[in-house]
Copies of this chain bind each other. A is one copy, B any other.
Amino acid sequence: MPGYNYQNHSLVAVDCIVFGFDGQNLKILLIKRKLAPGQGMWSLMGGFVQNEESADEAANRILTGLTGLEGVYLEQLHTFSKPDRDPIERIFSIAYFALIDIHQYEKQINDQYSAEWFLLSEMPALIFDHTEMVSMARKKLRYKAAMHPILFELLPSKFTVPLLQSLFEDVFETTFDKGNFSRKIASTGMLLRQKEKDKLGSKKGAYYYQLDKKHYKKNFHKIQRLVPNPNGLI
């Protein structure tokens, strides 16, 4: 096969930062590494990009292998490229972040990877530059969530406004007035109120809502203003 001669070839991998929300706190999914280097340490889930697949396809393949879930929200984050980031040989790593409904995952858990959910505040040390990847992913999550309705990917298809608020509060590390939050989110026109209520969380019960992304474009600026001065965006 002809090629570009005299140029160095390298390994290219993907690593996935997987976020979930348990109703109280944002969590991250880590695996315990089985092979050297870094055997026994915690790490992000990753793998090499194969010949016939794109990086997106590789990330999806790896994520499905880990969680059993297909079609989850996955977005390319950043490519990490320091020459010595892996001690064995040079590896470029294309990092992706994923948002999954943690309850869907729990049913289908595939434990061959010794995977575990961690609170972000209790995350252990990770191999290589994975800690830096996670911190960039957290920042990007806030960045994106301040502008687009992506946090809904972390919730079940029917959810209550108070649950949504506690997710926003956890992501942005702040609190909102509940009355104002509920009106603001309603004014985006994205939420369709269901007939049923969730009675587990409170006596009065909170209405379930479903997301209707169709007309969020019209009221895009209202999403922008849900979080006035989003923590960690600067």
A9 touches B7 (CB 8 A): no
The interface residues of chain B lying within 8 Å CB-to-CB of A92 are 12, 49, 55, 92, 94
A81 touches B52 (CB 8 A): no
Min C-beta distance of A94 to chain B, whole Å? 5
B48 touches A7 (CB 8 A): yes
A79 touches B51 (CB 8 A): no
The interface residues of chain B lying within 8 Å CB-to-CB of A4 are 11, 48, 88-89, 91
A89 touches B10 (CB 8 A): no
CA distance A90 to B55 in the complex (A): 12
- A 44-86 to B, binary, CB cutoff 8 A, 1 in contact else 0: 0000111111111000000000000000000010110111000
B89 touches A1 (CB 8 A): yes
The interface residues of chain B lying within 8 Å CB-to-CB of A217 are 234
Q: Does A224 contact B (CB under 8 A)?
A: yes
Q: Does A233 contact B (CB under 8 A)?
A: yes
Residue of B nearest to A90 (CB): B51
The residue that A81 contacts in the complex, of B82, B94, B148, with Cβ under 8 A, is B94
Min C-beta distance of A132 to chain B, whole Å? 13
CA distance A1 to B10 in the complex (A): 13
Q: Does A201 contact B (CB under 8 A)?
A: no
CA distance A9 to B148 in the complex (A): 37
Which residues of A in the span 1-22 have a Cβ within 8 Å of any Cβ on B?
1-4, 7-12
Which residues of A in the span 70-118 have a Cβ within 8 Å of any Cβ on B?
76, 78-79, 81-83, 88-92, 94
Min C-beta distance of A86 to chain B, whole Å? 9
Q: A3-B89, A9-B9, A217-B234 are in contact. List 5 more A-B contacts (CB 8 A).
A: A12-B92, A55-B79, A55-B92, A81-B94, A220-B229
User: What are some 20 contacts across the A-B interface (CB < 8 A)?
Assistant: A2-B88, A3-B11, A3-B88, A4-B11, A4-B88, A4-B91, A7-B48, A8-B11, A8-B48, A8-B51, A9-B9, A12-B81, A54-B82, A54-B83, A55-B79, A76-B79, A147-B147, A147-B233, A220-B229, A221-B228
Where the two chains meet, the residues of A that have a C-beta atom closer than 8 Å to any C-beta of B are: 1-4, 7-12, 48-56, 76, 78-79, 81-83, 88-92, 94, 143, 147-148, 217, 220-221, 224, 228-229, 233-234
